[in-house]
Amino acid sequence: MTKFHHTLNCKDCKSKGIIFKSLCNEELDMINQNRFEVSFKAGEIMFKQGTPSPHFLCLTKGLAKIYIEGRGKNLILALVKPVEYIFGPGVYVDNRHHYSAAAVEDSTACLVDAATYKLLIRQNPDFADEFIKRVSNQAIYNFEQVISLTQKQMPGRIADALIYLSEFVYDSNPFEMSLSRQDLADISGMSKESAIRILKDFKDEEILSIDGNSINILNPRLLKQISETG
Amino acid sequence: MTKFHHTLNCKDCKSKGIIFKSLCNEELDMINQNRFEVSFKAGEIMFKQGTPSPHFLCLTKGLAKIYIEGRGKNLILALVKPVEYIFGPGVYVDNRHHYSAAAVEDSTACLVDAATYKLLIRQNPDFADEFIKRVSNQAIYNFEQVISLTQKQMPGRIADALIYLSEFVYDSNPFEMSLSRQDLADISGMSKESAIRILKDFKDEEILSIDGNSINILNPRLLKQISETG
DNA sequence: TCCCGGAATTGATATTTATCAACATTATCA
DNA sequence: TGATAATGTTGATAAATATCAATTCCGGGA
């Protein structure tokens, strides 16, 4: 994990997230003065559940997973790609991370002091609205996730994960999956072996073609149907 | 469902939630002018997933459940008691309810126009902070819930539900459960029959005594241990 | 290049959980 | 009050899923 100051100013940052659109130049300066950039190699942990949480993290390059560490198993809540940010609920509660984050691919991120961020939320109602909107969207997504995990059977859950990967994470089909099978299992809340078996079933039914980590969704319609019928 | 204007002003309301503590009299007046009170009989639906969501709802009497309607099954996300409020994430996203709510006991609630509420969040940073804090707490609770539902086996999940009921909902032990067995199952993400069986096991092991809907936790330490070991 | 360790795969088996059906109990209401 | 429906309970069975063990595959160093 290398720490270094970025030469760019936030005002000029090409990878500035849309979250910052409601901030004026002065406010962006404030963020700029309280930030530093960090890079992570694939596999490295970015922060760990239970540790103090003093930062807002904006992913500028790579891919990260955020996951809850349960009893032996992990549950991946979401994958985060540029330019999205991670700002856990602990910041407003107990200053602790309630989930861990790790780099799935080599990544870089901007860290901003949480206090600065909270101050801006108080100062700028548009920014606050944007933030609440974002938190709300996340909550809604979590509802769908819980229903998927608790009420769908394994094929439905794997279908959900594959659709999520293709449509929201890699934004393409076919796609090269930078996740391990274990990660896929951790997204879908099942054992690695089960995840592999379902993938194979999908391959046998010619819903997918799989070559190592390259996945091609051959029958998106059927996959969506499996997702819906659970 | 009866609609009537409450005689009291919000300023004097005995059951005013702590959320309102950061509002000045003028702001409370604003809420007061945009609110009405409704009462629900036990079992009545307060609002339904998918319908437009123009209100902030504050429960002043009774007990309500909020639940997601999945494929045939429901998943109860939380029980709401006085004086807590329900303000779904849809208000900031698509103006739709993303979960349903129903009265478990005879209840009354104050409904406040959502636009008014959102305006106050923009106006009053302390109020906004309180609101975000509350949303954050909810998110953290949801994490624990997801882990319970996806990584614990049935006895652990029922233990979690019973602890939740005793410690957070009814605030007592023994307690009279106003929920049905189906509700208990919907909290724990399992079939009604399974929930009943686990209850019986706990009774046989003398962790609980059960008489109809009266539940007495005889061995809280062991119950907690079952919750933790899953 | 060869070897090693971790990931992926497969099969056999055990465990967990749901479903179905039958019956008991309780609440409701005319 | 008695009939009737809803809720609760139990047992038998089937389905879903995890676990364990044994290979195989693959990439990165010495």
**What confidence tier does A16 reach under pLDDT thresholds 50, 70, 90?**
low
Residue among B94, B98, B121 with most chain A CBs within 10 A, to mutate: B98
Q: Which nucleotides of C are covered by protein (CB under 7 A)?
A: 7-12, 16-21, 26-27
Question: What confidence score (pLDDT) does residue A131 get?
Answer: 95
Contacts of A135 in chain B (CB under 8 A): 89, 132, 135, 139
Q: Cβ of A71 and B151 within 8 Å?
A: yes
Question: What confidence score (pLDDT) does residue B8 get?
Answer: 67
B114: tokens are: 């959502």
B105: tokens are: 């006991």
CATH architecture of B148-229: Orthogonal Bundle (1.10)
Closest nucleotide to A212, Cα to C1': C8
Q: Give pLDDT tens digits for A77-123.
A: 999 999 899 999 999 999 999 999 999 999 999 999 999 999 999 99
**Under CATH, what is the fold of the domain A2-124?**
Jelly Rolls (2.60.120)
Triad A45, A48, A50: Cα angle to 5°:
175
**What confidence tier does B21 reach under pLDDT thresholds 50, 70, 90?**
confident
A201: tokens are: 């079933």
Contact criterion met (CB below 8 Å) for A136 and B131: no
Residue B64, pLDDT > 90, answer yes
Mean of the pLDDT values across residues B52-70?
93
Residue with tokens 């686990």: B198
Residue-averaged pLDDT of chain A? 92
Q: What letter would DSSP give residue B167?
A: I
Q: How far apart are CA B17 and CA B61, in angstroms?
A: 12
Question: What confidence score (pLDDT) does residue A7 get?
Answer: 53
Question: What confidence score (pLDDT) does residue B18 get?
Answer: 74
Q: How far apart are CA B128 and CA B138, in angstroms?
A: 15
Question: What confidence score (pLDDT) does residue B3 get?
Answer: 46
Which residue of B lies nearest to A122 if distances are taken between CA atoms? B125
Which residue of A lies nearest to B190 if distances are taken between CA atoms? A150
Q: Cβ of A136 and B90 within 8 Å?
A: yes
Contact criterion met (CB below 8 Å) for A213 and A178: yes
Residue A176, pLDDT > 60, answer yes
Residue B99, pLDDT > 60, answer yes
Q: Give pLDDT tens digits for B137-194.
A: 999 999 999 999 999 999 999 999 999 999 999 999 999 999 999 999 999 999 999 9
Q: Cβ of B99 and A140 within 8 Å?
A: no
Q: Cβ of B146 and A75 within 8 Å?
A: yes
Distances (CA, A) of A27 to A6, A33, A215, B178: 18, 10, 43, 51
Q: Cβ of B132 and A92 within 8 Å?
A: yes
Ordered by start, the domain boundaries in chain B are 2-125, 148-229
Share of chain A above pLDDT 70, in %: 95
Question: What confidence score (pLDDT) does residue A2 get?
Answer: 45
Q: Cβ of B150 and A75 within 8 Å?
A: yes
Residue among A53, A71, A144 with most chain B CBs within 10 A, to mutate: A71
Q: How far apart are CA A181 and CA A195, in angstroms?
A: 7
Q: How far apart are CA B204 and CA B183, in angstroms?
A: 22
Residue of A8, A17, A12, A14 lying closest to A57 (CA atoms): A17
Residues at the strand C interface (Cβ < 7 Å): A 180-182, 192-193, 196-197, 199-200, 210, 213; B 153-155, 189-191, 193-194, 212
Q: How far apart are CA B3 and CA B126, in angstroms?
A: 32
Nearest-CA residue to the C1' of C25? B212
Residue B16, pLDDT > 70, answer no
Which residue of B lies nearest to A89 if distances are taken between CA atoms? B136
Q: What letter would DSSP give residue A82?
A: T
CA distance B160 to chain A (A): 15
Contacts of A140 in chain B (CB under 8 A): 89-90, 93, 98
Number of C-beta neighbours around residue B3 at 10 A? 9
Whether the model pTM is above 0.85? yes
Q: Which nucleotides of D are covered by protein (CB under 7 A)?
A: 7-12, 16-21, 26-27
B180 touches strand D (CB under 7 A): yes
The torsion angles phi and psi of B77, rounded to 5 degrees, stand at -80, -40
Superfamily of domain B2-125: Jelly Rolls (2.60.120.10)
Q: How far apart are CA B211 and CA A208, in angstroms?
A: 54
Which residue of A lies nearest to B230 if distances are taken between CA atoms? A71
**What confidence tier does B17 reach under pLDDT thresholds 50, 70, 90?**
low
Higher pLDDT residue, B116 or B18?
B116
Contact criterion met (CB below 8 Å) for A114 and A83: no
Question: What confidence score (pLDDT) does residue A17 get?
Answer: 66
Whole-number distance in Å between A162 CA and C11 C1':
26
Residue among B49, B92, B93 with most chain A CBs within 10 A, to mutate: B92
CA distance B144 to chain A (A): 9
Q: How far apart are CA A36 and CA A113, in angstroms?
A: 9
